[in-house]
Structure 1
Amino acid sequence: MDTRFLQSFVAVVDCGSVADASRRLDLPATTVTQQMRSLEADIGCQLLTRVGRTVKPTVVGARLVDQAREVLRGVRELRSAASDTGLPAGPLRLGATPTALMGMVPALLRRWMSAHPTIQVYIEPGTSSKLLEQVVSGNLDVAILVHPTFAMPKTCEWRVLRSEALILLAPREMTVRNPLLTAAREPFILYDRKVVAGKMADEYLRSRGIKPKVRFELDGIEHIAQLVAEGFGVSILPDWPAVGKSDGRTKRYPLPPPCPSREVGMVWSRASLRSPLADALYALVERK
């Protein structure tokens, strides 16, 4: 059985389509389709079925996908152990939230390429919760994400990279003497309450007895900042690092204490044979 076919099978299940899986794997869609047919012929039953516009595993496929992940994880660890360098064999599988990917990751990648030019990096963007799941399951070697509202699994190593206090973001031309009164008075763009900082912002306002005039609610700090810059309202966001030149159309205001902060950090599995890759990456953060 070709493990490349198992990799394609897992990718199709995760992506929900052959087209998306082929883009993730950098393979033609016809190749992925042929691999799936060969795998099904080898196993002797259908693994995937089309439901509307998506592809889902059959009953048998759903039973086998976790075992396929285990096989692929074992293959990665076998290759890691067989590496003749000081670190496990690449690629380094790095997860990052969109904000981290636009902010701190590029500089970190430059240091990695300089220190370890022969070890490629596979980057997977995602939400903090999804990335943490991928680290725990062994599908990612390390991830840069926001600390969840619950304790990290004991199997994971967690290192804080930065702490980001909540701030009021407002259009620059707006007069702001009291950030809380401004948040209560002006049209408000609410950071998605399902994410950590969005929940923090919502609870902070509630604790102050403020019910903002919500115009929009969405995820994505950069998207919200763009709406604020366009004059659609104000927002309470983490004090995230600006990428490149900051938008001169907005201004940040500190909030009255006690003001919560979100922690952005690096997480990896302590027990993994590939943990030295994560250690090497974190060493580059400390070296900056």
Structure 2
Amino acid sequence: MDTRFLESFVAVVEEGSIAAAARRLHLTPAALAQRIRTLEAELEAPLLLRAGRSVAASEAGLAILDRARTLLREVRDLRDSATGGGLAGELRLGAIATALTGMLPAMLARMAARYPQLEMHISPGISTELYRRVLLGELDAALIVQPEFAPPKSCEWRLLREEPLVVLAPAALPQTDPHALLGNEPFIRYDRAQWGGRLADRYLREARIRPRDRFELDALDAIAVMVDRGLGVSLVPDWAPPWPSGLVLAKHSLPRPFPPRRLGLIWTRNAARARLVRAFLEQGSPGNDVLPQT
């Protein structure tokens, strides 16, 4: 059995469509569909259920999905071990939106220059989803917001950046007291389904501030644009640049100490994969807004 066909099947299930999986694997949709048909013929069972452009694993597909992921992980580990002292293979990283544009590009550029044989696949997402995918073994590591709970002992965590909460307001507003802004102006809330959004909500509750909610969004750059347009104020982490260009905003520090949003890398304790993760972590530096290792 060609493991590339198994990889195609897993990618289709994870992406939810032939087209998205084809982009991920750098194939044409027709070539990827042919791989799936060949695999189904070899296993003598339909592996996917199709509904329009969306697909999902069939009963037979679900039965082999976990074993297929395990086999692909072992093949990658075997390939990595065979490189000896060199560093090659594939590193699958997840990253939240602000890390994807802020911290990650410089680290990836250093990684690509130092290890040109290493293939890196990047998956965007929110912290809760990326955390789940690391635990399932779908990702080798992920740049996420630190969970509100202790990860399992099978995982390792490295803090990379701390971002204090700030009150965002239109620069033209004469009011500068952060609590007055949060209590009196229309409020654009950072989504409470996000770990960072829950942190902001906790501050509001502890400070006994009841904001006048107008919107609740999970995209920080969109929140910044709406504040710039005068639609309200917000309480968000001071995330790493770049921010949307052309904005005229005021950032007000909070008047009371409060924990920052903490960004870091989470990965599983797998000896073969840990070598690649450590190499990735070495690409950070204080100039790249990455905290030095202690």
Question: TM-score if structure 1 supplies the norm length?
Answer: 0.94
Q: Which runs of 5+ in 2 are unaligned?
A: 288-294
- Asked if residue 82 in structure 1 is aligned to residue 82 in structure 2, the reply is yes
**Residue of structure 1 in register with 2:97 after alignment:** 98
Q: Please list, as runs of the form range in 1=range in 2, the aligned pairs for 1:1-288 lying within 5 A after superposition.
A: 1-51=1-51, 53-87=53-87, 89-243=88-242, 247-286=246-285, 288=287
Q: Percent identity?
A: 46
Are 2:178 and 2:252, in contact at CA under 8 Å, matched by a contact in 1?
yes
Q: Whole-Å Cα distance in 2 between the matches of residues 287 and 230 of structure 1?
A: 34
Secondary structure (helix, strand or coil) at the match of 1:69 reads helix
Q: Displacement, 1:11?
A: 1.1
Once the two structures are overlaid, the 10-residue window that deviates more, 54-63 or 278-287, is 278-287
Matching residue's letter, 1:127: I
Matching residue's letter, 1:255: L
Are 1:229 and 1:247, in contact at CA under 8 Å, matched by a contact in 2?
no
Secondary structure (helix, strand or coil) at the match of 1:190 reads strand
Q: Displacement, 1:247?
A: 4.7
Report the count of equivalent residues: 287
Matching residue's letter, 2:99: A
Once the two structures are overlaid, the 10-residue window that deviates more, 242-251 or 68-77, is 242-251
Q: Whole-Å Cα distance in 2 between the matches of residues 176 and 285 of structure 1?
A: 39
Are 2:225 and 2:244, in contact at CA under 8 Å, matched by a contact in 1?
no
Secondary structure (helix, strand or coil) at the match of 1:149 reads coil
For each residue in 1:111-139, what CA deviation from the matched residue of structure 2 results, as whole angstroms up to 9, or x when unmatched?
21232233232211111122222222333
**Residue of structure 1 in register with 2:292 after alignment:** none
Q: Whole-Å Cα distance in 2 between the matches of residues 56 and 218 of structure 1?
A: 28
Are 1:11 and 1:21, in contact at CA under 8 Å, matched by a contact in 2?
yes
Q: Displacement, 1:278?
A: 0.8
Q: Whole-Å Cα distance in 2 between the matches of residues 136 and 286 of structure 1?
A: 27
Secondary structure (helix, strand or coil) at the match of 1:50 reads strand
For each residue in 1:155-210, what CA deviation from the matched residue of structure 2 results, as whole angstroms up to 9, or x when unmatched?
22211111111110111111233111111111111100011111111121122222
Q: Whole-Å Cα distance in 2 between the matches of residues 165 and 267 of structure 1?
A: 21
Once the two structures are overlaid, the 10-residue window that deviates more, 107-116 or 229-238, is 107-116
Are 1:131 and 1:145, in contact at CA under 8 Å, matched by a contact in 2?
yes
Q: Whole-Å Cα distance in 2 between the matches of residues 264 and 202 of structure 1?
A: 18
Are 1:172 and 1:248, in contact at CA under 8 Å, matched by a contact in 2?
no
Question: TM-score if structure 2 supplies the norm length?
Answer: 0.92
Are 1:204 and 1:260, in contact at CA under 8 Å, matched by a contact in 2?
no
Are 1:142 and 1:267, in contact at CA under 8 Å, matched by a contact in 2?
yes
Q: Whole-Å Cα distance in 2 between the matches of residues 53 and 111 of structure 1?
A: 38
What value does the CA root-mean-square deviation take over the aligned residues?
1.7
Q: Displacement, 1:79?
A: 0.5
